[in-house]
């Protein structure tokens, strides 16, 4: 009787309410979208009552496609959501045994596990609106080693377009290095330490902090493995101040930015470029350096992967085996942390990645807890080796690592088993499923991004620093 009532109600609302209104209302509300998508499907599968219970079980791992606006030919309004939610609650009540209820209420950790396509547009913070002049300036600064203490390292040194704006090294070599990617070595003699963490890709950092609703605040976006600064504007400045990355030993952390500003002021071309980008005289300062680089980095987006195309309605964008991999990815519990459009909850977790033997001491992470922020799973083809210290060389090795910690076996000598994040116990990764999951992860790769390199930079220094 309830099911018949639902069909009558839906058909009634379709006749009297304006089309498209509900889509605009709920497109940023994953819970409402889940409910509506489920009930729209009931009409086709009404006789399969078991599916209703399965829908309830899968809510946490539900994939929310963009649906290509399925309401073009349907008619609803916002009030309909309340009716639909009420009906769905009635339908699924009683679907679970007391044992299932006990499991859901006491054993499982409640997290949002929705995954979806990236937005097609990029937002900028109010204090840094984009412009072609600002983006062009930021790109030159990104490639110019003038920003480093020894004038030998640029941002691009460790974030090169040929390696997806990351690099094929476990941990980076900054100051006093030569070469690019896996061929980069320290010059001798050398007293500069390795950069202690793996260089994450700049691609899509414009979306850092994005929620499962696809809302985000670019001026509050968490950056680095420890989320120690917010926004790309702040992130762009930090490597310049760091000894082993760009600063070197000739300047203190307090002095280096003033030195860089004076160098830029001494170059007429930069004076003109800053004036055009910011519309004022005397525009060269550390804040505007960060703003210009951030404006360029927000152009480095890959939001049209095959997965994104699939989620926007192209059902042929990924293969049957990749779709199976997506389902396996969900069932294994991966979206507990790798959720939203960036496949990251942007939260810290204690996972016990094995130590990197190149480092003389353990990296203790956020507040000495050995916690690190969840990285994105997009463009993994460019970001090997993996984890915060590059200790795992392949995706298969990463999945084997998660299989080990899922049963409470820490892989780090300073992390006790009981200190592992509780969410690792929700994982159910099997060896037989690993190739399927990796097949799905490959759908998140998107090679279409800006790979052009300036022929020269205003300082006249080698483009990208000592990378040849």
Structure tokens belonging to residue 382: 């460019």
Q: Are strands 222-223 and 229-230 parallel, antiparallel or unpaired?
A: antiparallel
Task: Identify which has the larger pLDDT, 364 or 11.
Answer: 364
**pLDDT tens, position by position, 215-226:** 999 999 999 999
pLDDT at residue 91 is higher than 70: no
Angle at CA 441, nearest 5°, toward 162 and 203? 35
Q: Is the peptide bond before 334 cis (omega within 30 degrees of 0)?
A: no
* Residues 420, 424: Cα–Cα separation, whole Å: 7
The contacts of residue 325 (CB under 8 Å, 6+ apart) are 436, 437, 438, 439, 440, 441
d(CA 457, CA 230): 28
For residue 256, is pLDDT > 60? yes
The full set of domains in the chain, from first to last, is 2-107 (no CATH), 132-297 (1.10.760.10), 306-444 (1.10.760.10)
Chain mean pLDDT for the chain:
85
The arithmetic mean of pLDDT across residues 148-161, rounded, is 98
DSSP states along 329-343: HHHTTGGGTS-TTTT
The alpha-helical segments, DSSP class H, found in 216-285 are 232-241, 256-265, 268-278
Beta bridge partners of 150: none
Residue 94 pLDDT level (bands cut at 50, 70, 90): very low
Spatial separation of the C-alpha atoms in residues 120 and 308, rounded to whole Å = 10
Q: Distance between CA atoms of 381 and 444, rounded to whole angstroms? A: 9
The pLDDT of residue 394 is above 50: yes
Q: Please tell me the predicted confidence (pLDDT) of residue 112.
A: 83
Residue 292 scores a pLDDT above 80 = yes
* Residue 94 structure tokens: 């009683």
Q: Among residues 132, 133, 128, 459, which one has the least CA distance to residue 276?
A: 133
């Amino acid at each position: 009787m309830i099911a018949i009532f639902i069909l009558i109600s839906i058909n009634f609302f379709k006749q009297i309410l304006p089309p498209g209104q509900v889509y605009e209302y709920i497109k940023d509300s994953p819970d409402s979208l889940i409910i509506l998508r489920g009930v729209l499907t009931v009409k086709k599968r009404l006789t399969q009552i078991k599916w209703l219970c399965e829908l309830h079980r899968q809510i946490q791992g539900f994939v929310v496609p963009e649906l290509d606006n399925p309401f073009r030919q349907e008619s609803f309004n916002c009030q309909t959501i309340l009716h639909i939610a009420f009906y769905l609650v009635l339908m699924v009540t009683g679907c679970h045994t007391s044992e299932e209820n006990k499991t859901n209420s006491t054993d499982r950790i409640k997290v949002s596990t929705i995954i979806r396509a990236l937005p097609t547009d990029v937002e900028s913070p109010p204090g840094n609106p984009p412009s072609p002049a600002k983006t062009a300036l930021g790109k030159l600064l990104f490639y110019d080693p003038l920003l480093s203490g020894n004038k030998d390292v640029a941002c691009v040194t460790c974030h090169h377009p040929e390696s997806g704006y990351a690099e094929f090294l476990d941990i980076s070599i900054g100051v006093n290095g030569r070469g690019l990617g896996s061929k980069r070595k320290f010059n001798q003699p050398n007293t500069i330490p390795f950069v202690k963490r793996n260089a994450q890709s700049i691609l899509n950092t414009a979306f850092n902090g994005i929620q499962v609703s696809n809302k985000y605040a670019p001026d509050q976006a968490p950056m680095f493995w420890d989320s120690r600064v917010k926004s790309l504007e702040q992130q762009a400045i930090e490597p310049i101040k760091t000894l082993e990355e760009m600063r070197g030993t000739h300047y203190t952390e307090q002095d280096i930015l003033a030195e860089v500003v004076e160098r830029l002021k001494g170059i007429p071309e930069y004076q003109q470029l800053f004036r055009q980008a910011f519309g004022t005289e005397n525009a060269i300062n550390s804040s505007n350096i960060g703003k210009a680089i951030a404006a360029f980095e927000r152009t480095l987006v890959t939001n049209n992967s095959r997965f994104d195309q699939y989620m926007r309605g192209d059902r042929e964008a990924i293969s049957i085996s990749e779709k199976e991999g997506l389902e396996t990815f969900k069932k294994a519990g991966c979206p507990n942390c790798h959720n939203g459009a960036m496949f990251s909850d942007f939260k810290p977790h204690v996972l016990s990645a094995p130590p990197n033997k190149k480092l003389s001491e353990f990296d203790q992470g956020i507040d000495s807890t050995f916690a690190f922020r969840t990285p994105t799973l997009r463009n993994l083809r460019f970001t090997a080796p993996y984890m915060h210290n590059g200790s795992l060389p392949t995706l298969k090795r990463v999945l084997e690592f998660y299989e080990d910690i899922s049963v409470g076996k820490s892989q780090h000598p300073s992390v006790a088993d009981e200190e592992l994040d509780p969410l690792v116990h929700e994982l159910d990764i099997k060896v037989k499923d690993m190739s399927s999951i990796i097949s799905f992860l490959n759908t998140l790769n998107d090679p279409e991004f800006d790979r052009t390199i300036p022929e020269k930079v205003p300082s006249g220094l080698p483009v990208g620093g000592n990378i040849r």
